[in-house]
């Protein structure tokens, strides 16, 4: 009975952190500063928070120079992923953004075999076609949101890239150490992009860092709760739940995010029937992927994704 209660508590905690991750796009739209500023503060707060955890747990965070460069370089992908993620929500709306992000598992199913030099499983292209049908329906239903959805899909491809890379890094290094250096790499990347972005646009450099009204509260929630807390709890739950159940639940993140966006932004987030049918097909293909791998007794990759 005690074990059953423990499992139930773990599942509830898992859904709670997935709900928190689903709120990231909502927070990105609520924060007044540009997406580059959001990523700059988020990565800085997250790096500082993870560093405090490392000190508390007395984890050795010193790495060989070659390994350090690899991890910091992965932070570049994370920075670009988050920048395009928040940009997509601004260019269109949160629902469109999350529909594009829902294709991450689809891209991972093809990128992983290429990077890890393994054959593509027979069901991966089949599920890929199903996901592609959903993408086409979403495009047809919201062609005026073409740019936002395209940026969101680019963000999903970036997420799949650093997910596969993290899968290789986690086998050699502590996850907190990896995350801290990746956040520092992402922070440094964003810091270097801001002057270029300022030069290419009408926005001044100060616009990217000027905090207004509730921005501090939203940024702290994004950095501490959505990144440091949710990630730490997710790692802890890996000891109680199977990788399959964790990843299956994480795939519900777009669903939670779209529901929250509809509640908070109301009419701004309402889309046509075709959009919801297409999004449902994308999410169905995402949910079927780990299920088929489980049924075929295939190894299911456990990604280290920060959203």
Write down the pTM of the prediction. 0.84
pLDDT tens digit string along 65-121? 888 999 999 999 999 999 999 999 888 888 888 888 888 877 877 787 887 777 777
DSSP string, 156-188: HHHHHHHHHHHHHHTTTS-HHHHHHHHHHHHHH
pLDDT bucket at 239, cuts 50 / 70 / 90: low
Per DSSP (E only), the strands in the chain are: none
pLDDT score, position 303: 47
Q: What is the mean pLDDT of residues 162-166?
A: 80
Cα dihedral across residues 177, 179, 183, 186: positive or negative: positive
Choose the weakest-confidence range: 103-107, 211-215, 248-252, 295-299.
295-299
pLDDT tens digit string along 28-46? 889 989 899 999 999 999 9
pLDDT score, position 297: 64
Tokens of 80: 């670009």
pLDDT tens digit string along 192-217? 999 888 887 777 777 777 888 889 99
- Of 299, 253, 262, the C-alpha closest to 15 is 253
Tokens of 197: 């972005």
Tokens of 24: 């990231």
Which residue shows structure tokens 């616009």? 207
* Residue 33 · residue 197 · CB < 8 Å: no
* Residue 48 · residue 155 · CB < 8 Å: no
Q: Where are the domains of the chain?
A: 20-295
- What percentage of residues in the chain have a pLDDT greater than 70? 87
In this predicted model, which residue has the larger pLDDT, 290 or 299?
A: 290
Whether 288 shows a pLDDT value over 90: the answer reads no
- Of 120, 117, 165, the C-alpha closest to 293 is 120
């Amino acid at each position: 009975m005690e074990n059953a209660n423990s499992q139930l508590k773990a599942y509830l905690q898992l859904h709670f952190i997935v709900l928190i991750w689903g709120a990231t796009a909502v927070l990105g739209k609520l924060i007044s500063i540009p997406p580059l500023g959001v990523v700059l503060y988020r990565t800085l707060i997250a790096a500082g928070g993870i560093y405090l955890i490392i000190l508390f747990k007395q984890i050795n965070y010193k790495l060989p120079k070659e390994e350090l460069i690899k991890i910091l370089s992965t932070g570049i992908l994370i920075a670009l992923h988050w920048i395009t993620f928040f940009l997509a929500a601004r260019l269109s709306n949160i629902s469109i953004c999350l529909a594009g992000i829902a294709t991450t598992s689809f891209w991972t199913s093809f990128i992983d075999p290429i990077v890890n030099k393994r054959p593509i499983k027979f069901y991966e292209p089949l599920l890929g076609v199903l996901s592609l049908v959903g993408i086409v329906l979403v495009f047809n239903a919201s062609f005026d949101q073409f740019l936002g959805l395209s940026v969101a899909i680019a963000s999903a491809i970036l997420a799949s890239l650093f997910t596969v890379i993290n899968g290789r890094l986690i086998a050699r290094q502590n996850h907190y150490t990896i995350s801290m250096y990746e956040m520092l790499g992402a922070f440094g990347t964003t810091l270097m992009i801001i002057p270029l972005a300022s030069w290419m646009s009408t926005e001044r450099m100060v616009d990217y860092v000027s905090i207004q009204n509730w921005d501090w509260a939203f940024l702290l929630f994004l950095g501490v709760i959505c990144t440091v807390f949710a990630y730490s709890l997710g790692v802890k739950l890996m000891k109680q739940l199977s990788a399959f159940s964790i990843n299956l639940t994480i795939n519900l993140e777009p669903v939670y995010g779209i529901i929250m966006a509809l509640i908070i932004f109301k009419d701004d987030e309402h889309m046509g029937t075709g959009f919801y049918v297409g999004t449902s097909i994308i999410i169905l293909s995402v949910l079927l992927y780990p299920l088929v791998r489980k049924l075929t007794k295939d190894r299911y990759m456990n990604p280290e994704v920060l959203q």
